Amino acid sequence: MCERLGEDVTNKKTNAVNKSDADACRWVALSALLDGARARGANAVVDIVSYYKQNTFRSPATYECYAGALLAGVALEGVYARVD
């Protein structure tokens, strides 16, 4: 069973110093999803799409992340849920 707890957009940035682009992007994406899920009592996020500059990018395997020398950031939209 899946109880939907609401949809939201998160826009998060993280320190990218001394991290590869891939590591910084992975870190910021997981952090954004975990923060939103914890705040809602969810244990899952479904229907995730990238939402950079309010442009939707849908992919079952990838997301958009913008990484530079100092910062990496993602904007994600998803549905928070509690699954059995």
Domain chopping of the chain, boundaries: 1-51
pLDDT at 53: 83
Q: 0.85 cut: is pTM over it?
A: no
User: What string of pLDDT tens digits covers the 84 residues of the chain?
Assistant: 778 888 988 899 999 999 999 999 999 999 999 988 999 999 999 999 998 888 899 998 999 999 998 999 999 999 999 988
Residues with Cβ within 8 Å of 43's Cβ and at least 6 positions away in sequence, in order, are: 37, 81, 82, 83
Cα–Cα distance, 35 to 69 (Å, whole number): 24
pLDDT at 21: 95
